[in-house]
Structure 1
Amino acid sequence: MLRVLIAFFIPWLSFFTIGRPIAGVICLLLQVTILGWVPATIWALLALRSYDEEHG
């Protein structure tokens, strides 16, 4: 649940918590603009979902 909140409010940080630092940096660059925040949040939530499915 905590990771979902992080993905919603600080999407770039969620990538670092699942061991994907390059994706985290790209996500942070998306978040620099307000318009990029929504795609970054969606991307982070989908990445977390995929991570949870792979790691149980």
Structure 2
Amino acid sequence: MLLAILLPFLSFIVRGKIITGIICFILQITILGWIPAAIWAALSLQNSRAEKRNEKLIRAVRENRN
């Protein structure tokens, strides 16, 4: 999470979203764009973690049905 706030573009690149990271870097270059870029990266990270949790829960429910 700290990486997403301090270096938002790098947060995307580390997660394999290269084009999004480049777009975020362009936004981050401006001082005013840094805050929206940090918010965007932090929200994206939270959404990614939530999706992984949901997928894990869905798999567990499907396994219990069988």
Structure 2 residue runs of 5 or longer lacking an equivalent are: 54-66
| TM-score, with length taken from structure 2 | 0.76
Structure 1: give runs of 5+ residues left out of the alignment.
Answer: none
> Which gives a bigger RCO, structure 1 or 2 (Cα 8 Å, sep 6+)?
1
How large is the Cα RMSD of the aligned pairs?
A: 0.8
- Aligned-pair identity in percent equals 49
Which structure has the bigger radius of gyration? 2
Q: Higher helix fraction: Structure 1 or Structure 2?
A: 2
Structure 1 stretches of 4+ moved >6 Å: none
TM-score by length of 1: 0.88
